[in-house]
Chain A
């Protein structure tokens, strides 16, 4: 170490004490996972829990996901929160098509994942019939902890590159299932009031 008179003399190795090298793809994947913006597609009760996840106590903003973009052009992840009816399915597909690549879909709740308790004429039995789904989060509605678990699973797979690999394999969504985390009833203690 010590002062280097001539950088060129030492080659690139001379930069080792004030530079980090790495692969560009790793940097891109890291930034994609840390700053993925969700497209708001809240439909029913799950949308309320999704908003609760964005609120102060569960704070999804610490994962980079606070800005729910209204315009699908600016969004990365579409969280389908709620039951998809026959009339809504074409709208869902249109919004999904308007999103830019790379894009991912989280199917939140049992109604979006499989039709839920509504096994009838009016509800599409699983949103994966309309769009390719990457993560399924169970629950009716899923607690905010479950949704955060699903989001973090997705982020982990984005960072590994795992999800793009699975996409290329199957041509469809990654189809990861997460476990439901039960709600806790510890009181919310904020500040001194």
Chain B
């Protein structure tokens, strides 16, 4: 019995509830899956601009369409929302994006695979390592070397990815606090984030947009003394997280503002393509690190944090505890980091060490070829998805055998997460709209690319 043969009459169940029997997924349309399809305001910008001023004698029940953004302190970047309000209640909403569209996918077709990391890392600028990791893993699969990456390189990638998750979630704590009025949380979150950025600056040379994870491994080895720096981080942050629990988690005002706000059901989240903390807050325990493991996550011992109500408070609590889980993983990596190479020793892909260029003609030629023309990647197409702090970030590359990708497309988690906004905001107040945007934690660089 193949999937196409399934009909209710051939189902093994003997009971018959008639019209109440579960319909197959293909028979469910948007109206059944979403609580309210009418949450999305489908008017073009030109139409709204023509709506003009309110009439002389406004009706009590008249709804108002107002504009929020793109320049706004609480929209997490250049997100524009058109809200249809009745009084203070949000009825429908339309997110308008494109204010940060950078043409990165077009630029990606002009840059070689070695340079691609610089482009891709600026998409989700709060977790640059995740972007680079997705791109590098896709390139390595096309090259066929994804099974040959040295152990140390794999573990280093995991370490940097988890530290990036920590810094991204700390920034979420900071901005979430500020958006809800707890302005001192902004200062505390950034204070902790500075620690992680210091470590990144020591390892990669830059505080943000590192371009460190490259196809074949990483750009450089960990500097001596890195273990002490990471241990210092791990000693410092847990007690600060306890402070956040005192400041926010148990506090009545915080709970009032976040509990029951921005509720989304599991069906809605899945059908809208939302992953990450949004999906986990609804109760679906989906985390790519555990369910479709990459790097060495299958050897790590960590929990996947899951909420139950699908509201903004669950998303906040999930992210707070994910910082703790990431610290657990980092501690395990510290103990188990193997020695070895930080990049694959494949001459066609990895540039030679600088000292060898003076000695060997071959090394000089390889260096020249890799950095000017770029290494050629065999024909093919591949999609790789990994777990970024916002959900699944994926890289789809089509290669035609030349040194530059033919098509480079990043599946941005925030692009799908923004589709959830109208459904979360419906029926709430305008102040809750700010809380909802903040709990979704979009990064507009990712959305617009």
Residues of A at the B interface (CB closer than 8 Å) are 40-45, 47-49, 51-52, 55-57, 68, 70, 82-83, 85-88, 91, 95, 117-118, 120-123, 140-141, 143, 183-188, 190, 193
Q: Are A121 and B106 neighbours in the complex by a CB distance under 8 Å?
A: yes
What is the CA–CA distance of A42 and B103 in the complex, to the nearest angstrom?
Answer: 19
Note all chain A residues with C-beta closer than 8 A to B197: 52
Q: Are B103 and A120 neighbours in the complex by a CB distance under 8 Å?
A: yes
Q: Are A91 and B70 neighbours in the complex by a CB distance under 8 Å?
A: yes
Note all chain A residues with C-beta closer than 8 A to B125: 44-45, 48
Min CB gap A102→B, angstroms: 21
Q: Are B99 and A85 neighbours in the complex by a CB distance under 8 Å?
A: yes
Note all chain A residues with C-beta closer than 8 A to B445: 44-45
What is the CA–CA distance of A115 and B348 in the complex, to the nearest angstrom?
Answer: 33
Q: Are B70 and A44 neighbours in the complex by a CB distance under 8 Å?
A: no
What is the CA–CA distance of A22 and B393 in the complex, to the nearest angstrom?
Answer: 62
| Contacts A/B (CB < 8 Å), 10 sampled | A41-B71, A42-B77, A44-B122, A51-B186, A55-B187, A55-B191, A55-B194, A88-B78, A118-B104, A185-B199
Note all chain A residues with C-beta closer than 8 A to B431: none
Interface residue SS majority, chain B: helix
Query: Of A40, A55, A122, A186, which one neighbours B101 at CB under 8 angstroms?
Result: A122
Q: Does B195 contact A (CB under 8 A)?
A: yes
Q: Are A56 and B191 neighbours in the complex by a CB distance under 8 Å?
A: yes
Q: Does B201 contact A (CB under 8 A)?
A: yes
Residues of B at the A interface (CB closer than 8 Å) are 70-73, 77-78, 98-104, 106-107, 118-119, 122, 125-126, 171, 186-187, 190-191, 193-195, 197-199, 201-202, 206-209, 229, 232, 236, 239, 444-445, 448
Q: Are A183 and B207 neighbours in the complex by a CB distance under 8 Å?
A: yes
Note all chain B residues with C-beta closer than 8 A to A43: 77-78, 99-100
Chain A residue with minimal CB distance to B111? A117
Note all chain A residues with C-beta closer than 8 A to B104: 118
Note all chain A residues with C-beta closer than 8 A to B103: 118, 120-123
Note all chain B residues with C-beta closer than 8 A to A187: 195, 198, 229, 232
Note all chain A residues with C-beta closer than 8 A to B201: 183-185
Chain A residue with minimal CB distance to B98? A87
What is the CA–CA distance of A57 and B4 in the complex, to the nearest angstrom?
Answer: 62
What is the CA–CA distance of A42 and B186 in the complex, to the nearest angstrom?
Answer: 16
What is the CA–CA distance of A68 and B178 in the complex, to the nearest angstrom?
Answer: 13
Which 5 pairs from chain A and chain B are nearest by CB? A55-B190, A122-B103, A45-B125, A185-B202, A70-B73
Given known A-B contacts A188-B194, A193-B236, A117 and B70 have beta carbons under 8 A apart: no
Given known A-B contacts A48-B125, A51-B190, A91 and B99 have beta carbons under 8 A apart: yes
Chain A residue with minimal CB distance to B240? A193
Q: Are B191 and A57 neighbours in the complex by a CB distance under 8 Å?
A: yes
Chain B residue with minimal CB distance to A72? B71
Kindly name the residue among B102, B104, B229 whose own CB sees the greatest number of chain A CB atoms within 10 A: B102
Note all chain A residues with C-beta closer than 8 A to B98: 85, 87
Min CB gap B238→A, angstroms: 11
Note all chain A residues with C-beta closer than 8 A to B186: 51, 55
Query: Of A68, A82, A186, which one neighbours B100 at CB under 8 angstroms?
Result: A82
Note all chain B residues with C-beta closer than 8 A to A186: 198
Note all chain A residues with C-beta closer than 8 A to B99: 43, 85, 87-88, 91
What is the CA–CA distance of A85 and B102 in the complex, to the nearest angstrom?
Answer: 6
Query: Of A45, A88, A95, A120, which one neighbours B107 at CB under 8 angstroms?
Result: A120
Note all chain B residues with C-beta closer than 8 A to A55: 186-187, 190-191, 194
What is the CA–CA distance of A185 and B194 in the complex, to the nearest angstrom?
Answer: 10
What is the CA–CA distance of A140 and B208 in the complex, to the nearest angstrom?
Answer: 8
Q: Are A185 and B198 neighbours in the complex by a CB distance under 8 Å?
A: yes
Min CB gap B424→A, angstroms: 23
Note all chain A residues with C-beta closer than 8 A to B207: 49, 141, 143, 183
Query: Of B102, B206, B208, B236, which one neighbours A123 at CB under 8 angstroms?
Result: B102
What is the CA–CA distance of A143 and B208 in the complex, to the nearest angstrom?
Answer: 9
Chain A residue with minimal CB distance to B193? A52
What is the CA–CA distance of A118 and B107 in the complex, to the nearest angstrom?
Answer: 7
Min CB gap B402→A, angstroms: 19
Q: Are B102 and A83 neighbours in the complex by a CB distance under 8 Å?
A: yes
Note all chain A residues with C-beta closer than 8 A to B198: 185-188
Chain B residue with minimal CB distance to A117? B118
Note all chain A residues with C-beta closer than 8 A to B73: 40, 68, 70
